[in-house]
Structure 1
Amino acid sequence: MSQAFSYQPAEEPDVAHLITEDDEPVDNLFSEKQQRLLTEPLFTSWPGPGEDRKFLACANVAVFNIARNPPVVPDMLLSFDVEVHPDIWAKEHRSYMVWELGKPPDLVVEIVSNKVGGEQSEKKIKYALMRVMYYVVFDPERLLSDEVVTIYHLGGLSYRRFDGMRLPDYQLGFTLWEGEFEGFHHTWLRWTDEHGNLILTGKEQAVHERAEKERERAEKEAALAQVEQLAEQLRALGHEPQQR
Structure 2
Amino acid sequence: MLKYDPLQLPSEEELPCSDDTPVDNELQNLIPNLLGAILAFIWQDRRDWFFAVDMGIYHTTGTNPRIPIVPDGFLSLGVERLKGDKLRLSYIVWKENNVVPVWVLEIVSHTYGGEYDNKATQYAQLGVLYYAIYNPEYSQRDRHDLLEVYRLVDGAYVRQPGEPVWMPEIGLGIGREQGTYWGITREWLYWYDQDGRKYPSPEEARQQEAQRRQIAEQRAEQLAAQLRALGIEPDEA
Partner of 1:5: none
| Contact 1:55/1:79 (<8 A) preserved | yes
Deviation at 1:22, TM superposition (A): 5.1
Deviation at 1:179, TM superposition (A): 3.8
What is the total number of aligned residue pairs between the two structures? 220
Partner of 1:58: 52
SS at 2:142 equivalent: coil
What aligned pairs does 1:161-240 form with structure 2 within 5 A after superposition? 161-164=159-162, 165-231=165-231
Deviation at 1:62, TM superposition (A): 0.6
Kindly provide the CA deviation profile for residues 130-154 of structure 1, in whole angstroms up to 9, marking residues without a partner as x. Answer: 1111000101120422311111101
Tell me, in whole angstroms, the C-alpha distance in 2 between the residues paired with 1:128 and 1:38. 22
Letter in 1 for 2:48: K
Percent identical among aligned pairs is: 28
RMSD between superposed Cα atoms in Å: 2.6
Counterpart of 1:121 (choices 113, 117, 120) is 117
Q: 1:69 to 1:47 in 2, by over 3 A?
A: closer
Deviation at 1:228, TM superposition (A): 2.4
| Contact 1:41/1:201 (<8 A) preserved | yes
TM-score, with length taken from structure 1? 0.79
Counterpart of 1:85 (choices 83, 86, 96) is 83
Letter in 2 for 1:95: S
Q: 1:37 to 1:99 in 2, by over 3 A?
A: same
Tell me, in whole angstroms, the C-alpha distance in 2 between the residues paired with 1:200 and 1:211. 14
Counterpart of 2:150 (choices 146, 149, 152) is 152
Partner of 2:27: 30
Any stretches of 5+ residues in structure 1 without a counterpart?
1-8, 233-242
Does 177-186 or 25-34 show the bigger shift? 177-186
Partner of 1:98: 93
SS at 1:38 equivalent: helix
Deviation at 1:170, TM superposition (A): 2.1
Tell me, in whole angstroms, the C-alpha distance in 2 between the residues paired with 1:116 and 1:69. 24
Deviation at 1:28, TM superposition (A): 1.1
SS at 1:211 equivalent: helix
| Contact 2:133/2:149 (<8 A) preserved | yes
Letter in 1 for 2:159: R
Q: Which entry has the higher C-alpha Rg, 1 or 2?
A: 1
SS at 1:170 equivalent: coil
Q: Does 1:19 align with 2:16?
A: yes
| Contact 2:32/2:72 (<8 A) preserved | yes
Deviation at 1:181, TM superposition (A): 3.0
Tell me, in whole angstroms, the C-alpha distance in 2 between the residues paired with 1:130 and 1:220. 57
Counterpart of 2:126 (choices 123, 127, 130) is 130
Higher RCO (Cα < 8 Å, 6 or more apart):
1
Letter in 2 for 1:129: Q
TM-score, with length taken from structure 2? 0.81
